Amino acid sequence: MASNLYITRHIEQRDRHGVQSLCLASFPIQYPETWYDDVVSGVLNSMGIFHNDIIIALIVSEYKLVNNCNLEDRGILVDEFSPVVYILSLAVSNEYRRQGLATRLVRYIIQTYSIENGFRHNQLPKAVFLHVLSTNHSAISFYKRHGFEQFETLLNYYRLKDGYGDGLTFVLYINGGRRLYSMGDVCRLCVSFIWSPFSKLLKSDNHSHSLRD
């Protein structure tokens, strides 16, 4: 199908049923009705790709400061007063996948918050981040291909129909944004710091053996 048959526009009230159908088919979680209210009313930045006036892909995002994020996400940037973009949802209908639609929507998000669109330097987001179910391997592969890096693992983050699932936080740093260390990084640094003197001793010991040999 030629890409010129696709129309990209903001999601509106009249798209509510299509948005709900796409989300129900794409995700193992159920969004509350209030979430759909925010998607179609303009509270959230909601963009869709349509074919024959049927929504086939969507991305929903939110622009905010790090210190207004959930507690588990505030470590993604050094400066807690820096703006970020949080992708709440990204979905493509099954029959339209592998046509670059998700890539188009992610690029749209990055381009939206730019100087070209009227944002000042201090308003530019320093990171784009999201959460993804740890078993959603195709989505994880997609985000990694587009430069996102895993920041944290969130145990039992998602409430599913049949229990709970772990979430992964992925971050794309832009406009000079820098990350804080995650708990995993801190643990690895501590182990490295503790192990370093012993490692040097072992290397020295091995070197002395080689001299004697």
Place of tokens 């003197």: 197
- Reply yes or no on whether 86 is catalytic: yes
How far CA 3 is from CA of 6, 11, 36, 50, 102, in Å, comes to 5, 19, 27, 11, 13
The residue annotated as part of the active site, out of 36, 113, 131, 173, is 131
For residue 131, indicate whether it is catalytic: yes
C-alpha–C-alpha distance, residues 138 and 1, integer Å? 22
Task: Using the structure block, give the residue that is written with the tokens 């179609």.
Answer: 40
| Cβ-defined contacts of 63-70 (< 8 Å, 24+) | 63/113, 63/125
Query: Which residue reads 């936080």 in tokens?
Result: 169
3-class secondary-structure state, position 62: strand
Q: Of these residues, 36, 86, 143, 157, which one is catalytic? A: 86
Please tell me the distance from the alpha carbon of residue 51 to that of residue 11, in angstroms, as a whole number. 13
Question: Among all residues, which ones are annotated catalytic?
Answer: 86, 131
